[in-house]
Amino acid sequence: MSLLKTAWKLLIGVKDVLTLLFLLIFFGALYAALSFSPNPAGEARGGALLIALDGTLVDQKAQADPLAILSGETSPIPETRTRDVVRALRLAAKDSDIKAVVLDLDRFMGAGAVSLSEVDDALAEVRKAGKTILSHATAYTDDSYALAARANEIWLHPMGGVLIAGPGGTQPYFKGLLDRFDVNLHVYRVGKYKSFVEPYLLQAASPKAKEADQALADALWEHWQTQVKAARPKADVAAFAQDPVAALQSAGGDLAKAAQAKGLIDKLGSDRDFGTRVAQLVGSDEDRGPGDFNYTSLDTYLAANPENQGGDVIAVVHVSGEIVDGDAPDGVAAGDTVADRIDQAVQDLDAKALVLRVDSPGGSAIASEKIRQAALAAKKAGLPVIVSMGNVAASGGYWVAMAGDKVFAEPATITGSIGVFGMIPSFEKTLARYGVTSDGVKTTPLSGQPDVLGGINETGDAVIQSGIGDIYRRFTGLVAEARKLTPERVEELAQGRVWIGGMAHQAKLIDGFGSLDDAVAEAAKRAKIDLSDASIVHVEPLPGFMQRLFDPAARVYAAQAQSGSDAVSRLVALRQARMGAALADAQRVMHGPAVQVRCMSCPPVRLAAPQRPTTWLNRIFN
């Protein structure tokens, strides 16, 4: 009887949850239907083009998990595609209806160096066209200031500030924790700079790893300073960054006034003050309220100006995020998914050329090879294959790039990291603490290996290390063949060492500097088609109803957590997000494939969304 009562309560609970879900979906669909406009061009109001960068700039947006959002398990960090911002800015530069560009950076969480450079170049086109750019935020940090520097007027909230930290920081090392629980971690690697395994072997970075990481950080820092100085020569950024305490003391401890005194910002004012100033340039919007100005949002502007869909197709396939095995939604580069999209470009879209846009620190060696093989099949079908490297194209990302007829990167692209590693934990010492042992029978030295309970024997270690070495030889062989380098030269450049774009070009690891647009132009040239009449198709799934329904909700939720943060709180939030990414990396390494081609020194392609406690709704459906 008790069992029946329990079952009945469970059924009632499931029914209530399904009813709740149905109501949420119904009212969401009703709202979407009522909000839908069949004529997006009619919505473009002119005035200012308002670019509110909530969250991060990415090459490819991750697909939100509606159930995770609904259950409260995760709070997604909003993402904006870099290419959308760049396209809108270039259109606005030539659009007589757009009088100014407004950057709302109050909730901007950052981007890779290449993404920042691409947007900065587009902003420079707007300035060259004679249009005013205005920026406003409560707090500016490195990435948001890199964009704001291009503005004619940089506004800052009087209670805000500018804090420039520069590249670098700490990461967690887990050796002490593993030792505490007597976990025996078996590590296999090739490459003296392949530092991904060091957090599990050491309690601090090795001299070789620190040398490579410092060189990378210094190069990125120099690139950032050069970009900002070119955009805003009057700003004394170097002095402000190297001695912020002195700048603060000279301004009586006021962060905002300290930034203004050093020329980093132009005006102090509230949101309303800023809105009034923009309204003087583009006209006010009385319907929206006092202090509001006439503007067209980024999404509306893009919808009003659709891309060309006629002519020969040049397909762009993104390898964005960690490279993993199998199929997966966007947010990671799943080997089967990306390979299928390459096949789709050849077979279904009848593409005349293929561009691989790589923004990945690597991951699974098998998945990387699967993507490369799909690109080679496209070449065999007669398509030129051009590789465009984004912020990061390292380890598995560089492996994929070896399929290209020509490889473009940017000066700030992080690439290389030609090395392989694997890690397998065994728990024989941990179990022995509690009196748990293991025993069994064997027919060969590899019976039961790798044995995570009883320990990995010498034969198992030797076989696994040999397998790692074989993949490393394949990797360096691919590089030698594709880049037309001797094996000895590749060995000098490999060893897991990470290179920034300028150094990679000198070492002939890439063919030249260029953006995604340059890669597309090269693809059109090799395919002998007219780029002006071609259709550039990014091979991605169209967002479904649930994705469209929950994406705005995710944006609102995340924006509430970040809106109006002061400078110190913003800096802390960024560090927390990057620590979350580091811990997520650790989890993926321990649960991922035993053999990986992944870059440890590379910054995360996307920040980790904060995880929330599992709720009753999540427990029911999982």
Q: What is the DSSP letter of 41?
A: G
Look up residue 288 and give its two tokens: 């929206």
Q: Residue holding tokens 């999540």?
A: 618
Give the Cα-Cα-Cα angle 213, 217, 218 (nearest 5 degrees): 115
CA angle at 429 for the pair 423 and 430, rounded to the nearest 5°:
85
> What is d(CA 109, CA 379) in angstroms, rounded to the nearest whole number?
38
Alpha helix stretches (DSSP H) within 495-544: 501-506, 516-527
Which tokens in the block code for residue 123? 């902003």
Q: Is 194 a catalytic residue?
A: yes
Contacts of 180 (CB under 8 A, 6+ apart): none
DSSP state string for 347-390: HTS--SEEEEEEEE-EEEHHHHHHHHHHHHHHHHTT--EEEEEE
Yes or no: say if 280 and 505 are a contact pair by the CB < 8 Å rule.
no
**Helix 113-128 / helix 207-231 crossing angle, nearest 10 deg:** 10
Phi, psi of 389 (to 5 degrees): -90, 135
**HSE value, Cβ hemisphere, 13 Å, CA-based, for 412:** 23
- State the Cα–Cα distance between residues 125 and 133, nearest whole angstrom: 11
Helix (H) or strand (E) holding 240: helix 237-242
Do 144 and 117 touch, CB atoms closer than 8 A? Answer: no
Q: Which of 588, 605, 607 is nearest to 596 (CA)?
A: 588
Catalytic site residue from 99, 194, 257, 406: 194
Determine contact, residues 400/375, Cβ cutoff 8 Å.
Answer: yes
Q: What are phi and psi of 152, to 5 degrees?
A: -70, -35
List the catalytic residue out of 144, 360, 395, 417. 395
Asked if residues 482 and 399 have their Cβ atoms less than 8 Å apart, the reply is: no
Q: Of 256, 316, 307, which Cα lies nearest the Cα of 520? A: 316
DSSP assigned state of 306: P
Considering all CA atoms of the chain, what is the largest pairwise distance in Å, rounded to the nearest integer? 84
In angstroms, the CA 64 to CA 49 distance is: 27
The encoded tokens of residue 70 equal 């609904």
Alpha helices, DSSP H only, in 139-206? 142-148, 175-180, 198-201
Question: H/E element holding 250?
Answer: helix 244-250
**Residue in the structure block whose two tokens are 């291009």:** 150
Q: Is 395 labeled as catalytic in the residue annotation?
A: yes
Which positions are catalytic? 194, 395
